[in-house]
Chain A
Amino acid sequence: DTEVTQTPKHLVMGMTNKKSLKCEQHMGHRAMYWYKQKAKKPPELMFVYSYEKLSINESVPSRFSPECPNSSLLNLHLHALQPEDSALYLCASSQDVDRGSETQYFGPGTRLLVL
């Protein structure tokens, strides 16, 4: 089973709102990722969690706050977003973290619209 689930599928929020995106995997993977994808562009890496610890933050603004409550769950807390943050947010997981060989499995994404 190579399933990564994400909720919600769609989210509309105002610039003053606080919302959270959720991601879950039950493959026993030790690394989880958040990506942002704008239309007609490839995904851009935002954060990496390795063994439930934040290992990579690709200079993401603080209005995005990741959280990894346990090895299966990954959240992305959103606060005071800007309209340019509207995008598809993808979660991914991989079995291991130390080799460039690991396949990342992606969830279906959350389409976020910031008004």
Chain B
Amino acid sequence: AQKVTQAQTEISVVEKEDVTLDCVYETRDTTYYLFWYKQPPSGELVFLIRRNSFDEQNEISGRYSWNFQKSTSSFNFTITASQVVDSAVYFCALGGILTGGGNKLTFGTGTQLKVEL
């Protein structure tokens, strides 16, 4: 069975601080895919990144960076110089295949990030 754990329920930081959101996953698959989504108060889930299990290179996109470590089954997300607009719930998810067709996302419980002035 697949499982994603986001142990941090809520994080509060002051603007311009760096913040890291943790994600730990469990899977028996040798090939798998990990995702991060952002959900602002408006409700839409915004796709941020997809990473496959063969690519352990860290990725940076502007103020966002991701650290994938297969040895510890972690896929952590860091926001550098946080801004108020980063306030949202962030979900880490593990991709899988549904018997019968379709892709299954196993979501973590989410981390609420609050960035204050």
Q: Which residue of B35, B42, B96, B102 contacts A31 across the interface (Cβ within 8 Å)?
A: B102
A-B interface pairs (CB < 8 A), number: 82
Q: How many residues of B contact A (CB 8 A)?
A: 29
Is B61 part of the contact surface with A, judged by Cβ < 8 Å? no
Q: Are B47 and A105 in contact (CB under 8 A)?
A: yes
Give every chain A residue within 8 A of B108 (Cβ-Cβ): 42
**B29: nearest residue on chain A (CB-CB)?**
A100
Option from A43, A56, A88, A106 in Cβ contact (under 8 Å) with B98: A56
Residue of A nearest to B100 (CB): A55
Whether A50 lies near B101 (C-beta < 8 A) is yes
A39–B98 alpha-carbon span in the complex (Å)? 25
Q: Which residues of chain B are within 8 angstroms of A98 by Cβ–Cβ distance?
A: 97, 101
With A and B bound together, what is the CA distance between A51 and B100 in angstroms? 12
Q: Is A103 an interface residue (CB 8 A)?
A: yes
Given contacts A100-B33, A103-B35, contact A48 B102 (CB under 8 A): yes
What separation, in Å, do the CA atoms of A92 and B45 have in the docked complex?
Answer: 9
**Chain A contact residue count (CB 8 A cutoff):** 32
B101 contacts A101, C-beta separation under 8 Å: no
Q: What CA separation (Å) do A88 and B108 show in the bound complex?
A: 17
Chain B window 5-17, contacts with chain A (Cβ cutoff 8 Å), 1 for yes, 0 for no: 0000000000000
Q: Smallest CB-CB separation from A88: which chain B residue?
A: B43
Q: Does the CB pair A108–B95 fall under 8 Å?
A: no
Q: Which 7 A-B pairs have the closest CB atoms?
A: A48-B102, A42-B107, A55-B101, A50-B101, A106-B45, A100-B95, A108-B44
A interface list, Cβ under 8 A from B = 2, 31, 33, 40-43, 45, 48-51, 55-56, 88, 90, 92, 94, 97-109, 111
Having A48-B98, A106-B46, A108-B42, one finds 10 other A-B pairs with CB under 8 Å, namely A42-B110, A45-B104, A48-B101, A56-B102, A98-B97, A98-B101, A100-B29, A100-B95, A100-B96, A109-B43
